[in-house]
Amino acid sequence: MKTLIIAAAALAMLATGAQAQTVRIATEGAYAPWNFLDDSGKPAGFEIDLGNELCARAALDCTFQTNEWDSIIPNLIAGNYDAIMAGMSITDERKQSIDFSDNYFPPDPSKYIVRAGTTLDFGALSGKSVGVQGATIQAAYAEATFGATNTIKAFGTADQALADLNAGNVDVILADGSYLSEIVAGSSGSLELTGPDVMIGGGVGVGLRKADDDLEGKLNAAIGEMKKDGSLDALIIKWFPDKAPGPIFAGG
């Protein structure tokens, strides 16, 4: 047992030593078009394009890896990777445990999605089953707003929530509007948006460990540069066509 521990420790030291040079970025890989796994099984999407561009501008060597959403912050703190780009909204609650870069996506309304033909009274919702992705801003909002008289179902991924909405196991899902708009278009009429927009969250930024001020500075400089020259707007419009024609960040 003792030799096993020593061998494991030695192996771990080697591993950490070899990985010190690159910036490892974690993403969820299940939140198209923000981040998803493409047909070849590799991470792709808006945040992968953006991350690669930011790293090129900041002269960093970056790799993407996937991590499940509900453990994505603990594993950042534990040092399994160095940054999070996973459509994560900047909130005061999260800021207590990690730092954020400047936002690279503006505050975006959350929306309700239902099976086509469902009408709900959001002023007095009761006895309904409301689906959310666990540990998201929408989960906190739904719990606070509807939790008393409705059932809140938290799912591991947004895809699973949608699957249950499709199967009729939940009545309505609250999620990022930027995530839902292409889904409604692709559902060939079976799903639709309804009810009021909900403004929560302070935009989306890169999640970083509190001690990594150097990395934060480099990323902020690159994000600022991309905001100013309009390339960030172009990238957002490429992946989120309904944000066209802008301007989103460019020109103040």
Tokens for 246? 């802008």
Residues 64-123 that bind other proteins (CB under 8 A): 67-68, 71, 77-80
Among residues 65 and 149, whose Cβ is nearest to other proteins? 65
Stretch that binds other proteins, among 103-111, 115-123, 142-150, 176-184 (CB under 8 A): 176-184
At 121, give phi and psi (nearest 5°): -100, 100
Q: Identify the sign of the CA torsion 66, 37, 39, 60.
A: negative
SS3 52: helix
158 burial level (CB within 10 Å; 0-12, 13-18, 19+): buried
Give CA separation, 226 vs 98, 100, 133, 207, in Å: 24, 17, 30, 18
CB contact at 8 A, 88 and 204: yes
Among 26, 33, 201, 219, binds other proteins (CB under 8 A): 33
Give CA separation, 31 vs 28, 219, 251, in Å: 7, 22, 29
Cα distance between residue 39 and residue 32, in whole Å: 13
Q: Is 169 in the site for other proteins (CB under 8 A)?
A: no
Q: Is 235 in the site for other proteins (CB under 8 A)?
A: no
- Provide, rounded to whole angstroms, the least separation between the CB of residue 39 and other proteins: 4
Among 70, 182, 192, 225, binds other proteins (CB under 8 A): 182
User: Residue 1 corresponds to which amino acid?
Assistant: M
Print the binding letters for residues 183-222 with other proteins: x by CB under 8 A, - otherwise: xxxxx---x-------------------x-----------
Print the binding letters for residues 125-164 with other proteins: x by CB under 8 A, - otherwise: --------------------------------x-xx-xx-
- Provide, rounded to whole angstroms, the least separation between the CB of residue 27 and other proteins: 13
Angle among Cα 14, 16, 20 to the nearest 5 degrees reads 125
Among 3, 5, 92, 214, binds other proteins (CB under 8 A): 5
Stretch that binds other proteins, among 4-12, 123-131, 198-206, 220-228 (CB under 8 A): 4-12
* Binding region for other proteins (CB under 8 A): 5, 8-9, 11-13, 15-16, 19, 30, 32-33, 36-42, 44-45, 67-68, 71, 77-80, 157, 159-160, 162-163, 166-167, 182-187, 191, 211, 239
